[in-house]
Chain A
Amino acid sequence: MSSPAAAETAQPDILSVEGLTVAFETDDGPLTVVDGVSFGLQAGRTTGMVGESGSGKSVSALALLGLLPPNGRVAAGRAMYRGADLLALPADRLRPLRGDRIAMIFQEPMTALNPVFSIGDQIAEVLQIHQRLPRGEAWERAVGMLRRVGIPDPATRALAYPHQLSGGMRQRAVIAMALACGPDILIADEATTALDATVQAQILELMTDLQRQYGMAVLFISHDLGVVSALADDVVVLYAGRVMECAPASAFFGRPMHPYSQGMLETLPSLTPPGHDLPTIPGTPPDLARLPGGCRFAPRCPRAAEDCRAAEPPLTETRAGSRAACIRPGPDWDPAEDPT
């Protein structure tokens, strides 16, 4: 990992998300589940997106690709990619980007692959769609991709159906499918969560390797702070649909600025062994339909005071390259100095 702060200033964003807001139509009316999320991705860098279950990580990712469920819609925001706003592109112009320039890997390798087609078929299909390769050539390339993701005897394995492969092999096949067209951006939503620890480590290594080869930008969504610390160059922390902190990984893991980040890291016993879920901090995430006024983390925040409930704190720069949504950010807070 290079120096994040230096790299950040050196590199323009390949994808720049600003104020992404997603609402779902529910039985109780519209519900905003992603609220003004902003972050950027850079070529060759991995951005780790962390947050409790339900914080809006998957919804944010799906919104970028126009894959929201039918009751969801983008209410506001921009996602600039090569001069085009992904969120405003008509479906027929977004579709060609999916799987070609922007690929996504989902959590469950078992259910993410179609059970009735061989994996070779499913990988070849991406190439047939985007590069209009004839079947035979697409198949050859699919076998080549399987080799690249470390599947032994790829020519034979290409003929296998998903149920004939182990979880790790399936996830490798999914990765091969995602990378077949050499995308600029890879979104991995809990790509390793369903795998056991050893396999998970292998897949992570593979992904790091491939990122180096392809030089793509990776958005790595995970519950697992250990994994994120091992992989990410930058970290985005979501809480109840809002970005709480956004910082280079070294800064984030060294001196987190937001009380929520601090809470998560404090309760994490050790960052080194991957396989830990996000530690739980006291309290429960708020009901999105009944958010408290002001800072949405206030009910669980040890630093919460009257002024926190006045208005939602904006994401503001706390030091070079780091931003936090808190009116009292900083690692050096002492309860004794608290004004309240």
Chain B
Amino acid sequence: MTRYLLDRAVQSVAVLAIMSVVIFWLMGLMPGDLIDLMISADPRLTPEDAARLRELHGLDLPISERYLNWLTAALSGDLGFSRLFAMPVLEAVLPALGNTVLLLGISFVLAVAIAFLSGIAAAMNQHRKLDYAINLLAFAAISIPSFWLALMMITLFSVTLGWLPASGTESVGGGGFLDKARFLVLPVLTLTIVSFGSHTRFVRASMIETLRQDYIRTARAKGAGEGRVVFRHALRNALIPVVTILALDFGFLFSGALIIETIFAYPGMGKLIFDAIMGNDYNLALVTLLFATALTLFCNLAADLAYAWLDPRISYTGDGA
């Protein structure tokens, strides 16, 4: 198991390294660079000044060398300077990462909790009214575009009813825990609604499949009550495929967060990536994208661990037992 973990960690780092190359290269393809921006900001800059500046920033080097320079600096802890925020990139990224983990984390837990409750209820009442109602709701949730829902939420709860703030993370001048929580409600609600639908469908399908298995009949033949049959015998088995799907779905949740953070002006990673790219802040864009990749890789790793813990047939020791 330790061996497997180590392997997976090495793999994740490799993926991260490859992603850094790809992202670096893609950003190199973007028209214009830092100096072009300076020129457009200050027309008095002469071509000679520009050339000198390019040399100073190492921008005259071929892209491979630039990448190596960046990598060396990054590995020694220097992720560069964000032009947009006028601060070291890491200082801009860390609070945003915290905000996003909060938003994603709460929405994920809520969506999964709802998905389990409704998915199991639907599976246990297959082809009955409750099942149809839950299915309908799940389909509706899947079909709602997140930006539209976000706007509707704002219209209803912020503009019309005036119950909740529409953007930001806290009141001007800072607020306590409750104040911050109020700012989280709408983005969390939106993200939860757009993601619980597909989760519900997965849980329902997996649960129905599991309840058909022979060992469920064995559990009943043993005298196990319905609760024990469903929550002990079926649930653990039904979870196995769901965990994988939830991990794969994390990318979807993240892109959903990007849209939602932008609409709610919520200062998270999504909004930071968006701002960095729109603002041609290369250093920041590079690092935020890499952090996003790392977050996804981390979730996949966590899913693998959960998977191994749930299913004793999975063995990561290599001897098949």
A residues near B, CB below 8 A? 65, 67, 95-100, 103-104, 106, 108, 111-116, 118, 125-126, 129-130, 161, 163-164, 174, 177
> Could you tell me if A116 and B312 are in contact, using CB atoms closer than 8 angstroms?
yes
> Could you tell me if B222 and A125 are in contact, using CB atoms closer than 8 angstroms?
yes
- Tell me which residues across on chain B come within 8 A of A103, comparing CB atoms: 221
Q: Give Cα A103 to B224, complex, Å.
A: 12
> Could you tell me if B313 and A161 are in contact, using CB atoms closer than 8 angstroms?
yes
> Could you tell me if A99 and B217 are in contact, using CB atoms closer than 8 angstroms?
no
Q: Give Cα A116 to B311, complex, Å.
A: 6
> Could you tell me if B223 and A112 are in contact, using CB atoms closer than 8 angstroms?
no
Q: Give Cα A129 to B160, complex, Å.
A: 55
- Return the chain A residue nearest B233 by Cβ: A114
Q: Is B85 an interface residue (CB 8 A)?
A: no
Known contacts A95-B225, A97-B223, A111 near B311 by CB under 8 Å: no
> Could you tell me if B223 and A126 are in contact, using CB atoms closer than 8 angstroms?
yes
B residues near A, CB below 8 A? 213-215, 217-225, 228, 233, 236-237, 240, 310-313, 321
Known contacts A108-B214, A111-B215, A126 near B222 by CB under 8 Å: yes
> Could you tell me if B223 and A95 are in contact, using CB atoms closer than 8 angstroms?
yes
Q: Give Cα A91 to B312, complex, Å.
A: 33
> Could you tell me if B219 and A98 are in contact, using CB atoms closer than 8 angstroms?
no
- Tell me which residues across on chain B come within 8 A of A130, comparing CB atoms: 223
Known contacts A115-B311, A116-B310, A98 near B222 by CB under 8 Å: yes
- Tell me which residues across on chain B come within 8 A of A129, comparing CB atoms: 222-224, 228
Q: Give Cα A125 to B217, complex, Å.
A: 15
> Could you tell me if A111 and B221 are in contact, using CB atoms closer than 8 angstroms?
no
Q: Give Cα A164 to B321, complex, Å.
A: 7
- Tell me which residues across on chain A come within 8 A of B310, comparing CB atoms: 116
Q: Give Cα A96 to B222, complex, Å.
A: 9
> Could you tell me if B312 and A161 are in contact, using CB atoms closer than 8 angstroms?
yes
> Could you tell me if A111 and B214 are in contact, using CB atoms closer than 8 angstroms?
yes
> Could you tell me if A106 and B224 are in contact, using CB atoms closer than 8 angstroms?
no
Q: Give Cα A233 to B214, complex, Å.
A: 29
Q: Give Cα A99 to B222, complex, Å.
A: 4
- Tell me which residues across on chain B come within 8 A of A114, comparing CB atoms: 215, 218-219, 233, 237
Known contacts A111-B215, A116-B310, A177 near B236 by CB under 8 Å: no
> Could you tell me if A67 and B220 are in contact, using CB atoms closer than 8 angstroms?
yes
